[in-house]
Structure 1
Amino acid sequence: MTERTRANVTTQTPLGDLGRRLAARRAQLGLTRGEVAARAGMAAAYLGYLEEHPGGAPGTGPLIKLAEALETTVTELTGGAVDVPPGPGRAGREPRFTELTPAECRSLLGTHGVGRLAVSTGTGPVIVPVNYGVVDDAIAFRTALGATPSLAAGQEVAFEVDRIDDAFSQGWSVLVRGHARTVTDEREQRRLTEQAYSAPWAGGTRDLWVRVEPRTVTGRRITA
């Protein structure tokens, strides 16, 4: 791991919000500050400072140790891969491919996030990202009338979410296929709005709710 991490060290000033990325990666792994600090051989108070102060700028040594402790790379922690498509690394030496169970797929879908919606249009199939939530096992998202995601209403569509870990050349994907419909019941609209985690990132007025009722849910995982 040390050799892999050192290969991703940059001598430039760290990019992005380091503290936010440290906290997010720690939460993703389910680790406490104390556990990460112990792994990195540093004081938990110092890790807390880095997470809570945007101006925190540790040297190369602490960054390498934090990347190792969080099972990622310095490039990822400093935001250097923000504009780079996921998956540029090499495949693992002995990759293992497994099918996910329905329960695992539902767990990975979670309650909300960003996924990719595949929908047919007049000029051919299109795939667009949407902010979604999971309500009663259905995929729900908010859009605007006439926007590309709104064209899903009344169609059979595909919806996909995935996570890629470039540091270890592993990841997973979940595919939902089902019928999409516009939510017209006012009570259901209010309930979805109340349960919405956040407004669509695209901004603007987007008050049209669409639900995708899953017909099949499948998934796969690659581990090194």
Structure 2
Amino acid sequence: MNTADGHHRSDLGRRVATRRRQLGLSREDVAARAGSTPGYIAYVEERLPAPGIEFLVRLANALETTVQDLTGLTAGSPQGEGPAGNRPRPEALDEKECWALLDDHGVGRVAVEAADGLDVFPVNYQILDGKVLFTTTSTSALALAAAAGAEIAFEEDHLDEAFRQGWSVLLVGPVRTVSDPVEAQALRDAAHSQPWAGDGRDTAVLLSPHRVTGRRILVPGAPGTADGSDGREP
């Protein structure tokens, strides 16, 4: 644990740091956007600040999000409740882009044919050499599917609520249980995070996708579009 993590004492600080990393911004970048200083951005991320609403608005704009999202007021709300963006443009993603968006690890969803029908649930995942690692309980629907060599679907998405755009990636392929204990332990050791659901999930399952597809919805003027690199009006 580094010093910054040790000093994290507020949900606001965690959300600011997470959003900044999602955008690939340094503290200097955020400070320049928000009319602040890198030292104060560090203070917001690492300590227990009580910034005024004016600064929170500037900070939310700098991080291309909302004050409600930064302060956690929308944490328990379903995503995507707002209206569609102005002139949304869908586009297909190639396989290379899909893997880049999945990045190294995160939380997605799997769809598995269970004993009583189709089951969909969230999972932590780790990307390893073109495969997807999950760790689960030995009696879970995912583990049973892997033991049978069944095919599953895995999906991750991201929504940018502020600009009504986002992306979705879908992987389809067979899963297998890693039965060799040495290989399974090596895979678990390579994972960056433990399952959020807690202990007892020590069965390693690998997805080898034969289909990798995705799509993105872009809104003109929003970040990531040719006419909106920073999402701000000229």
TM-score normalised by L of structure 2 = 0.86
What is residue 176 of structure 2 aligned with on the other side? 181
Q: 2:97 aligns with which of 92, 104, 128?
A: 104
Task: Say yes or no: does 1:198 pair with 2:201.
Answer: no
Shift of 1:190: 2.3
Q: Distance in 2 between matches of 1:207 and 1:70?
A: 37
Of structures 1 and 2, the one scoring higher in RCO (CA 8 A, sep 6+) is: 1
User: How far has the Cα of 1:185 moved from its partner?
Assistant: 2.1
1:40·1:65 contact (CA, 8 Å) conserved in 2? Answer: yes
In structure 2, the partner of 1:27 is 21
- In 2, the alpha carbon distance for the partners of 1:186 and 1:96 equals 47
- Superposed counterparts of 1:79-94, under 5 Å: 79-94=72-87
C-alpha displacement at 1:43, in angstroms?
Answer: 2.2
For residues 38-77 of structure 1, the aligned pairs below 5 Å read 38-53=32-47, 55-77=48-70
Mapped contact 1:155–1:180 kept (Cα < 8 A): yes
Q: Which amino acid aligns with 2:107?
A: V
Q: Number of matched residues? A: 208
SS across alignment from 1:23: helix
Shift of residue 23 of structure 1?
1.0
Match of 1:120 in 2: 113
Residue identity in the other structure for 1:65: R
CA distance in 2, matches of 1:90, 1:148: 35
What is the deviation of 1:90?
1.0
**Structure 1 residue aligned with 2:225:** none
Structure 2, unaligned stretches of length 5 or more? 1-9, 220-234
Contact 1:162 1:172 in 2 (8 A): yes
- Describe the SS at the equivalent of 2:184: helix
Shift of 1:204: 2.2
Shift of 1:208: 0.8
* Residues 1:139 and 2:128 aligned together: no
Q: Which runs of 5+ in 1 are unaligned?
A: 1-15
- Between the two proteins, what is the percent identity of the paired residues? 51
> In the TM superposition, what is the alpha-carbon distance from 1:88 to its structure 2 partner?
0.9
Q: CA RMSD in A?
A: 1.1
Deviation >3 Å, runs of 4+: none
- Secondary structure (helix, strand or coil) at the match of 1:214 reads coil
Aligned pair partner of 2:204 in 184, 203, 209: 209
Cα distance, 1:152 vs structure 2: 2.4
CA distance in 2, matches of 1:145, 1:220: 33
For 2:133 and 2:27, locate their aligned partners in 1 and report how far apart those are by CA, in whole Å: 34
In the TM superposition, what is the alpha-carbon distance from 1:186 to its structure 2 partner? 2.8
Task: Give me the whole-angstrom Cα distance separating, in 2, the residues matched to 1:186 and 1:146.
Answer: 17
Question: 158, 172, 188: which one pairs with 2:167?
Answer: 172
